Amino acid sequence: MTATCREACCSVTPRHTVSALFERGFRRNRAAPLPIEGAQLTDAEGNTARFSIAVVDGRIAGIGFRVSSCATLVACCEFIAETVPGFRPEIARELTATNLVAALPGVPALKRERAMLAVAAFRAVLASLSSFEQNGEISNESRLHLRHAAP
Amino acid sequence: MKVAYIFATQRHNVSYVLAKMILPQLEENRHGADVVGMFFFEDNNYVLVDGNPIGARLTKVAKEKGTLLMGCDQCCYEREIADTLFPGVPIGCFPDLYKALSGNMPDQVITL
């Protein structure tokens, strides 16, 4: 079996280049958040990321995010938002920054740390989802947790 | 006087203003100002692609003089050259540029 070529030569859309992901992610970044929001995380350079998520029948139905306007970070988050829906949360939790870097060729080494922030923020929203599932609703305690990101 | 150049317009900018004016003057130490940084937008970023002959001269002078060279990250991603620039030449946006220049601030920023 041969994987589909995702390069421009085969006119496959949507393309998963950083530039194309940024274009789509730029719009998603300004959209209203989905019902369950995760903690906002901040990296050493001051970039922030917060995901939101919708789950239907035990599967991730939609992913939103609100992140700093860094092109690399937006592209990383958009890749997650486009590829993870349809998976169960326990499967989605297995996504790593290494996976993300491998999936986004063309990101120079100095910018690859953005993938770590994106994945950490995505795991944070999955943690909020677990809390939501256990309590039936986001408790006040959970809301407090969401507003105070872990360092 | 310390200056930083922002190459924002295209056409004859890199091949003429940079390659035939600024760069020879820097190589001959007669530019008249200390160039602390150069930032490149749009197609001007192609000069930073590893192997570009003008870029090779530019990176050599920049290394000797401690000049920051930086490409616009969105411009480089759009052209799919972000990971093909000369070694040590970063990409970034305004926060990265200001942070990189913060230790050696220019007196003037000149947009070309």
Find the CB nearest A110 among B74, B78, B90: B90
**pLDDT recorded at residue A141:** 42
Q: Determine the residue of chain B that is closest to A69 in CA distance.
A: B93
CA angle, residues B96, B101, B105, in degrees to nearest 5? 150
The alpha-carbon gap from B69 to the nearest alpha carbon of chain A, in Å, equals: 14
User: Residue B4: enclosing H or E segment and its boundaries?
Assistant: strand B2-7
DSSP state of B46: G
In this prediction, what percent of chain A has a pLDDT beyond 90? 72
* pLDDT tens, position by position, A68-122: 999 999 999 999 999 999 999 999 999 999 999 999 989 999 999 999 999 999 9
ipTM greater than 0.90: no
Q: What is the DSSP string of B19-40?
A: IIIIHHHHHTT-SSSEEEEEEE
Which residues are CB-contacts of B60 (< 8 A; sequence separation ≥ 6)?
A: none
pTM recorded for the entire structure = 0.82
The alpha-carbon gap from A22 to the nearest alpha carbon of chain B, in Å, equals: 8
Q: Is the dihedral angle over the CA atoms B12, B13, B16, B17 positive or is it negative?
A: positive
pLDDT band for position A6 (cuts 50, 70, 90): low
The alpha-carbon gap from A23 to the nearest alpha carbon of chain B, in Å, equals: 10
Q: Using the beta-carbon criterion (under 8 Å), do B85 and A107 form an inter-chain contact?
A: no
Average pLDDT of the segment spanning B3-21: 92
b/e per residue A43-69 (b: at least 16 CB within 10 A):
beeebbbbbbbebeeeebeebbbbbbe
Report which of residues A37 and A151 the model is more confident about. Answer: A37
Find the CB nearest B93 among A71, A75, A106: A71
Q: Using the beta-carbon criterion (under 8 Å), do B77 and A111 form an inter-chain contact?
A: no
Q: Using the beta-carbon criterion (under 8 Å), do A19 and B77 form an inter-chain contact?
A: yes
Q: Is the model's pLDDT at A140 over the cut of 60? A: no
Cα dihedral B48→B51→B56→B60 (10° resolution): 90
Q: Using the beta-carbon criterion (under 8 Å), do A108 and B77 form an inter-chain contact?
A: no
Contact list in B for residue A110 (CB cut-off 8 A) is 90-91
In this prediction, what percent of chain B has a pLDDT beyond 70? 100
Average pLDDT over chain A reads: 86
Find the CB nearest B82 among A45, A46, A107: A107
Looking up tokens 């950083």 gives: A18
Residue B27 φ then ψ, to 5° = -65, -30
pLDDT band for position A145 (cuts 50, 70, 90): very low
Average pLDDT of the segment spanning B25-53: 96
